[in-house]
Structures are given as C-alpha cells and as structure tokens.
Amino acid sequence: MNTNYLELINEILSSSLKESEILEFKDYKFKDGKFNSLDSKNMNTLIKEICSFANADGGKIILGIAEDENHNPTKISDTGVNVENFETWEQSFRNKIATKTVPAIYGIKLHHVVVNNDNCIVIEIPKSILRPHAFDDGEHKFYKRNGNESRPMRYSDLKNGFSELEITQQKIYNFITDRISTILDSEIDESLSERSSLILHVIPEWSLDVSNFIDLKKCYNNRALSVISPDYSNYSYYNADGLMKTYETNHNGFSSYLQIFTDGKLEAGEIRLLNDFRDENPLEIYHWDQLEKLIAEKIYIYCKALSELDLGTSFFITLTLLNVRDKYSTTYYGFNRGKAIKKNLIRLPIIKWNILESFEERMLPIFNNFANIFSVDSSSLYDNNNNPIEEKFSFISKQ
C-alpha cells in the first residue's frame, strides 16, 4: 500500500479539500474490477480529464471519492478494483490511454490504495513535455485544466503547445548533433576522431525539462549503467558533463565509454568491437548480428536502469556510426560478407520507446535499418515475418 496516498486521501476527507488545478475526484465503480466495464460517457470523461492535466501542469485523479452537490468530498466509495485484479485493470487502462490520446501520454503512474477496506485508485499524471495531447473520440479534441475544470484549449494555447513540441524535437536533434561534433572534434578522446565507433544515445523524456537533474552518486556503482562491452567499466570519474565510465586497454585511447549527463541523458560509445586492434583485418567490423543483439540488450538495460532512478518510462533512442567508410561485416559464422560501407557517418532514426510497451515491436525499425547498413535485408533479431525471435530477446525475461 502507498502510505503517502493513504494520508492524502484521509486529508482530503478530514479537511474537505476541494478539486483544483491539480486534483480531481471521481466516484467510479468497475464491475468485477474490469476497466472496460465503465460506461462510455464516464470513460470519455476520464480520458478527457487525463489529457487536460497533461496539457497543463499535471495532477492527480482519485477514483473512489464521492462528492455532494457542492463538490465537497464526503466519503470513500469502493471502486471494485482490489489487489488481485489491479494489475489487469492497469493493463486495460494503459491500452485505452495509448489508443485514445494523440500523441499517447506516457509517464502516468497508478497507485492502488486501500482506505478502511475500500479500494481507491490514484492516477498521477505528469506535465507532458510532448503536449498538447488530444482526446480521440473520432475527432481530435484538446482540453486543458483551468481551475477545477477541464476546458477546450484556445487557439493561442494550441499554437503555443505545438511550438513547444517543435522545440522539444529540435532539442533532441541539437543535443545529438552537438555530441557527434564534440566526438569528431576530439574533445572526448583524441582517437575517436579517426577510429570507427558506434554511438548510442538514450534520452529520457524527463531529461528534456531543463530544471531536472539526477543524483550521479546513484549511478557511480550501478552495474546496469556500464559500458557496452565488456559488461563492466574499469575506470569512473566525474567531469563537466556528469559521470564518465570507461573501459581502456593498453592501446591508445578508449575502447568503450559511457557518459551519464547531469540531466539523465546517456551516451555510450563502442570502439573496441568496431576495430581490429590486431590489425589482421582493419576494415572488418565485429560480426553485425552479434553486435546488434548486444546493442538491443544494452538499450533495454539502460532504459530500465534510468527508469528505476525515477527518470520516467519514456525514452528517445538512436544510433550513430562514425568513421566507417570502406568497412564491412560478416555474420558470427563468417557468412554473408556485406558490401563495403560508402558513408563515413550514418545516423539511424530516432525511436521513442516507453517501457510499458513491447520492446521488440518498437525496436524493429531501428534494427532493420542497422542491418541494412551491412547489406542485409532485415535484422537477425526477427524472423522473415518481422516477428521477434524469442531466444534473441531472452534478456528481457532475465531482467
């Protein structure tokens, strides 16, 4: 049970707290604990309220509080959702939110709270960086919290909202572009400007709010936040950007590194697996099918680790290949040598993934594109029908 929310609900009743810009009550009951048992009118109202909070400053909706005719909270009213069926209720709730909000609202937290044997649910909605969000009931409708009501957004609100969305997208692009320039200008490590490297960026949506920052001490000894290869770091230190973890061998320069920024953004550079330091075949890259499986696992682990640090559940992910002109790769078994890469810098598309969604499904575009770089028609992580191969994603169940 969430003690903080139990105290909040008791305070609402004892102090007769009214609804506000950040607080809403609903006396909803769910037959047999099923979310979809709610009638369509109340269902639409709930989704509209969620959009309105996300388009403003965020807030909380408490299901299971009854009000009088003056909207004063009077008593607890059991929702019908108990501990046993809450998980199923939550899954149905999130599926509905994903299909009825545009763009989908992520980062919503749900809390089941028992008050004197009655079941309540607290829906915690963040102020969304990707606002404005529309409620889709056949046509897109935009609402924003104003006082204790949800009102249609004005033209000026929508215009400002879409401008903020464009700014957010530009922030992501500019950050990645600036970091790639920094790497190529030898500002991180001199050897990176010449050697082949793969750069992975994982950007929490949470980090795009300029006021947010993380406690880097919690990252220092976190094994999940380690370099791509090998599965540990042998040197860690703080720098002007945040926390740097590196793996270095006896050759000059980094073999791999992980930069965790003060706002929670993450950059992982893999050099070791893209270069033959024995110089037996300097143009051959580590087997692409093994490399993409490793990258997939690391993306998953990084996102989970950042989420556990309360950086939200939604992440922007992309890969960049540097200094790879004339290089090629084979499979693990040495077959299917691809044609030499013609470009020196390759940027893959930016993918957004929420950890409440299917990882395998969302990663398909980025890894099919990754395979194309090496003259392969599709990712080795999926079958010919683009279905994920279970054993290739076994790391998910292990987590």
pLDDT given for residue 201 in this prediction: 97
What is the DSSP pairing of strand 149-152 with strand 242-247? unpaired
Average pLDDT on 296-301 reads 97
Q: Alpha-carbon distance 101 to 133, whole Å?
A: 6
C-alpha distances in Å from residue 138, one per residue of 100, 102, 133, 141, 372: 9, 12, 14, 9, 38
Answer yes or no: are the C-beta atoms of 103 and 43 closer than 8 Å: no
pLDDT given for residue 278 in this prediction: 57
C-alpha distances in Å from residue 274, one per residue of 183, 256, 357: 16, 10, 31
Helices (H), the chain: 3-15, 40-54, 86-100, 155-184, 217-220, 288-308, 359-373, 394-398
Average pLDDT on 226-247 reads 93
Q: Alpha-carbon distance 36 to 155, whole Å?
A: 33
Q: Alpha-carbon distance 296 to 112, whole Å?
A: 33
Mapped onto helix, strand or coil, the DSSP state of residue 263 is coil
Q: Is the per-residue pLDDT at 276 higher than 80?
A: no
In this prediction, residue 333 has a pLDDT band, given cuts at 50, 70 and 90, of low
Q: Alpha-carbon distance 126 to 119, whole Å?
A: 23
- According to DSSP, residue 390 is labeled G
pLDDT given for residue 168 in this prediction: 79
pLDDT given for residue 1 in this prediction: 46
Average pLDDT on 229-234 reads 88
At residue 218, what is the residue type?
Answer: K
Q: Is the per-residue pLDDT at 130 higher than 80?
A: no
pLDDT given for residue 252 in this prediction: 62
Q: Which two tokens stand for residue 378?
A: 């599709």
Place of tokens 């047999």: 32
At residue 142, what is the residue type?
Answer: F
Q: Which domains does the chain have, with CATH numbers?
A: 3-153 (3.30.950.30), 162-398 (no CATH)
pLDDT given for residue 238 in this prediction: 97
At residue 331, what is the residue type?
Answer: T
DSSP string, 190-255: GGGGTS-EEEEEEEEGGGGSTT----THHHHT-TTS--SSSSS-SEEEEETTEEEEEE--SSSS-S
For residue range 35-77, what is the model confidence (pLDDT) as tens digits? 999 999 999 999 999 999 999 999 999 999 999 888 889 999 9
Answer yes or no: are the C-beta atoms of 16 and 65 closer than 8 Å: no
Mapped onto helix, strand or coil, the DSSP state of residue 377 is coil
**Average of per-residue pLDDT values in the chain:** 89
For residue range 237-265, what is the model confidence (pLDDT) as tens digits? 999 999 999 998 765 667 899 999 999 99
At residue 118, what is the residue type?
Answer: D
CA-nearest of 123, 119, 14 to 64 is 119
Q: Which two tokens stand for residue 357?
A: 């969604």
- According to DSSP, residue 384 is labeled T
Which of residues 2 and 27 earns the better pLDDT score?
27
Total count of residues recorded for the chain: 399
Q: Alpha-carbon distance 218 to 102, whole Å?
A: 35
Place of tokens 């102020």: 127
For residue range 149-166, what is the model confidence (pLDDT) as tens digits? 999 998 888 887 777 777
Beta-carbon contacts of 117 under 8 Å, excluding residues fewer than 6 positions away, are: none
What is the per-residue burial (b if ≥16 Cβ within 10 Å, else e) of 289-305? bebbbbbbbbbbbbbeb
Instruction: Say if pTM beats, i.e. exceeds, 0.75.
Output: no
C-alpha distances in Å from residue 350, one per residue of 17, 367, 378: 44, 12, 18
Which of residues 203 and 276 earns the better pLDDT score?
203
Average pLDDT on 192-208 reads 90
Instruction: Find out whether the peptide bond into 103 is cis, omega within 30 degrees of 0.
Output: yes
